[in-house]
Structure 1
Amino acid sequence: MPAVNRVAIAGTGVAGLAAAIQLAKAGVDVDVFEAKPDLSALGSGISLQGNALRSLDALGVWDAVRAAGYAFDGLTLRAPGPDAPVVAQLPDVKSGGPQYPAGMGMPRPALAAILYAEAERAGAHIRCGSRVSGFTQTESGVHVHVDGESVGDYDLLIGADGLHSTIREAIGIDTKPQHTGMGIWRAFVSRPAEVERTELYYGGPVYIAGYTPTGDDSMYAILVGDAQEHFGASEDEARALMLEQTRAYGGPWESIRADLESGAKAHYTWFTQHLVAEPWNRGRVVIIGDAAHSCPPTIAQGAAQGLEDALVLTELLATRSEVDQSLWDEFHARRIPRARMVVEASVQLGQWQLEHNRDADAGGLIFSVSQKLAEPA
């Protein structure tokens, strides 16, 4: 018998939907509240490392994810210049195990739709346009309000409401995402046949230029540089800014530029980092995913770590008889050191770029972290 009978979840990102899927499959009554009016996912594409694929398999959605994404092994490094010469072909650590590819790219909206469908199939109740506006705790539960109205009593409230989590703030945690000094352009474009894995270019006008295939006919391209105030740019201005910064890169960038000139949208964000110190819960309210930690996408672990948060938490809730301190102690012991490792490594990789540190062993750090992530959370 699970430790909980009724759970409320704030947020429908990967962490929130993963928690909803696992709890509903365990027989728990789950209500998911999403402040946005629909489940449209922002952004272009997403990179999923092997440990993320292992987590998605645990949720029962691996077949759907595999069909919707583009699997690959290895990493190609190229140099700037008109011919974009290949510098190295590097193998990836299969951090999910030998039964999964080292990595996969897929459109973010496709992943969101797969998780949403699985959560509904499992029996979770999802309400969009519904913001958790307040709650009061007792020793044994949480009384939740949504949009100012009472929605009842729950055994647990899970705050999976993202970087700017209102649940995090409401339980008195003042840790917030901090900018790292770097920003990223992203664009969703067509995939040239020659692009079969992630390819990265180091140097040139930006720190990192690259792209990842997300399907037979699609990929997303990135440019990583110093943080700039590009948030007020119009769509045409954003495309022009991204185009200008790609001029030093040849090869498949010719195709990317053609798509941008034809109207592909360019999206800009800043890198952030934070890690909430133990505990992530206050009584019967707990935060997971981006609400608890964030990091630059330098090793593509944001979604993976949110998925692992959800799987560890729901495993404990489904196998323990009560929500007590020993449950929280095990949850924090299994999650915080791992999340800290990922955050610190991701930030370090970016910092080396900001410092123009050519002697840093970026490959060694990535390989070391990947080996550790190969061990299940």
Structure 2
Amino acid sequence: MSSPTKDIAIIGCGVAGMTLALTLHARGIPCKIYEVRSTIYRTTGALILSPNALRILDKLGVYEDLEPKGFSFQKMIFKNNAHETTDEYYLGSKELFGYDCLRLYRRGLLDHLRFEINDAGIPVFYGAKFSHVVSETEDGVEFAFEDSTTKHCSLLIGTDGIHSTVRRCINPSARPVYAGMISINCAFPRSALRMPPEHPDYPLPVAVQSKPGTFIMAPQDGEGSTIFAGTVALYPEQDHAGWDELARDKAKLLSMFCKDKDAWPDIVQSAMEAVPEETVAIWPFYNVPRLSKWSSEQGRVVILGDAAHAVPPTAGQGASQALEDAYSFTIVLAEVAKGREWNKSLDAWEKMRNARVDGVKKLTQLLNKTTLPKEEREKLEMETWGSGVDQTWLYCRDLENDTEQCLKDAFGN
């Protein structure tokens, strides 16, 4: 059996794929990336990087240059229509967790990681659309692209997102499950907000809870001059063409975004009035069903990130868990390179990561409930969350120790 670290192919040049490539490179493990999109593709929207993610980026030497490009903060404050604080939820804190939370444009993170990839000399092949696995043995994988060309590698890793093609090669029946709701979001100038005169210290980010639901506003650039706003709406599932049609119908989305405008406090109404129609977008909430295995029977095809465990963005852990996958998986590969048996190591890692993701999904489901309209929230049994919950389990994970320990437990040494 040849080593899985001999020649690694990564399908997907997103957060998980590029982080994996950088961590592999740092340990001297060769890899190549294959990306379906062209180099001119520009993604939209913003994301949250919590302390567990920033700790990884710091170890990779990326955080220091990345941090000024985003907006750092600690808490999401929950307010009611009377501007009273009803709860708070820590998304980061240097004092408590080592790092504040960082919110930044998704393209900013991807561009920065792409720069690091190029600087490291890691090969990236754009416009390469993965098709299927041709054959797999205990020594490697032959795989094909849609143009009928084939390649061979010792280990094929799919980081190709929630609608992963690589996942179908492992579990063809595993399909993303729609959660029944979409996020409608936009961006507008902070200067357009009418701050409550009686509350000059009104906080941002904020989640305003009212009868129609929850309306979130958060700065998303370094200066805090641009505000992201988003709310959740119940909506029937669409096929791919249907989602595309809805995404293009900006007038309809804006109307949905501003629904029940008079039921919101004036600060939210001012946000609704300030939205440039062209910025309105949607994010359908999908989950990937829990997979007991993230790898093929031979162990030479593996999926990471959203391909393995996509969750809605409510807890801000999508990118963070993808980073954890990539970083911890590289630790496993480094141990295998030292002589540990591959399949047993892979099985131990999968069980560790599945347990971790189970906790994140439970938290996400809990936070999803808080975004619903008041009448829907009142129908549900609400568990304790927010300021009463210890979040060190989420933000202060020692990935090196935990990964190495899970291997020691598996092998008895």
TM normalised by structure 2 equals 0.81
Stretch of structure 1 that moved more, 245-254 or 23-32 = 245-254
Deviation at 1:247, TM superposition (A): 4.6
Q: Distance in 2 between matches of 1:151 and 1:24?
A: 24
Alpha-carbon distance between aligned partners in 2 of 1:64 and 1:151, rounded to the nearest angstrom = 38
Within the candidate set 215, 221, 228, 1:220 is matched to 228
Match of 2:316 among 276, 300, 304: 300
The corresponding residue for 2:111 is 113
- Give identity over the alignment, percent: 24
Structure 2 segments unaligned to the other structure (5+ residues): 194-200, 400-413
Q: Which amino acid aligns with 1:118?
A: E
Structure having the larger proportion of residues in strand: 1
CA contact (8 A) 1:5 1:28 kept: yes
Determine whether 1:350 maps to 2:354. no
Per-residue deviation, 1:96: 7.9
Find 2:268's aligned residue among 228, 239, 253: 253
- Find the counterpart in structure 2 of residue 144 from structure 1: 143
Q: 1:336 aligns with which of 326, 350, 354?
A: 354
Structure 1 or 2, whichever has the larger Rg, is: 2
Q: Any conservation in 2 of the 1:189–1:264 contact (CA below 8 Å)? A: no
Long gaps (5+) in structure 1: none
CA deviation vs aligned residue, 1:9-43 (integer Å, no higher than 9, x gap): 11122111111111122223321111122363544
Do the aligned partners of 1:201 and 1:208 also contact (CA within 8 Å) in 2? yes
- The equivalent residue for 1:204 is 211
Q: Which deviates more from structure 2 when the two are superposed, residues 62-71 or residues 195-204?
A: 195-204
| Cα offsets for 1:215-246 (capped at 9, x unmatched) | 11223111012125784342233223323355
Structure 2 Cα separation of the partners of residues 366 and 131 of structure 1:
46
Which residue number in structure 1 is paired with residue 83 of structure 2?
85
Counterpart mapping for 1:123-134 below 5 A: 123-134=121-132
Question: Aligned AA for 1:314?
Answer: T
* Distance of 1:110 and 1:148 partners within structure 2: 31
Distance 1:155 1:254, change over 3 A: same
Q: Which amino acid aligns with 1:153?
A: H
Name the stretch that deviates more: 348-357 or 88-97: 88-97
Q: Which residue pairs with 2:21 in the alignment?
A: 20
**2:157 and 2:301 in contact (8 A); partners too:** yes
Output one character per residue of 1:259-300: Cα deviation in whole Å (capped at 9) or x when no partner: 31x444111122122244222111200001111112222211
Deviation for aligned residue 1:324: 1.2
Matching of residue 281 in structure 1 with residue 295 in structure 2: yes
Distance 2:131 2:203 in 1: 45
Of 238, 245, 266, 2:253 maps to 238
Q: How big is the shift at 1:254?
A: 4.8
Report 1:178-193 matches (<5 A). Answer: 178-192=177-191
Using the TM superposition, give the Cα deviation of residue 355 of structure 1 relative to its aligned residue in structure 2, in angstroms.
4.8
The answer (yes or no) to whether the contact 1:71–1:101 under 8 Å persists in 2 is no
Give the Cα–Cα distance (whole angstroms) in 2 for the partners of residues 325 and 28 of structure 1.
18
The 3 A distance-change label for structure 1 pair 320 and 153 is same
In the alignment, is the contact (CA less than 8 A) between 1:273 and 1:293 conserved in 2? yes
Counterpart secondary structure, 1:356: helix
Q: Secondary structure at the match of 1:292?
A: helix
Which of 319, 327, 330 pairs up with 2:335? 319
CA separation in 2, counterparts of 1:276 and 1:358?
A: 23
Q: Which residue of 2 aligns with 1:58?
A: 59
User: Is the CA contact 1:14–1:307 (under 8 Å) kept in the aligned structure 2?
Assistant: yes
CA RMSD of aligned residues (A): 2.8
SS at 2:397 equivalent: coil
Letter in 1 for 2:125: R
Shift in Å, 1:92: 2.0
Higher fraction of helix: 2
Matched letter for residue 29 of structure 1? P
**CA apart distance, 1:64:** 2.3
**Which letter maps to 1:133?**
S
